[in-house]
Amino acid sequence: MTACHVFIDEISRVRQLRATWPDAPRVEDELMENYRNGLKAMSLFSQESNLMREFYFRQFSTNNGIELSPLPGYQLTKVQEAFEAI
């Protein structure tokens, strides 16, 4: 999760330098590839962890018995929200 946030920060920084740094597009592409690889790794390991899981289920009782409600995984959601903010 932390590594993905570092890539997000670097992508944001490179985007700010785009007008003055000729290598910015190439560097941004490399950072994006690494960010996507980080998300893939988080998704792969997310099945083992409720914090990372893409979706986990909250159990609650209703008149019809016990139901499960899907909830987005906390860490994956936070990383994706941080990226959308840049």
Distance separating the N- and C-terminal Cα atoms of the chain: 17
Q: pLDDT tens digit string along 16-58?
A: 999 999 999 999 999 999 999 998 888 777 666 655 555 555 5
> CB-based contacts of 74: which residues, under 8 Å, 6+ apart?
51, 52
Domain ranges of the chain: 2-84
The pLDDT of 58-67, averaged and rounded, is 61
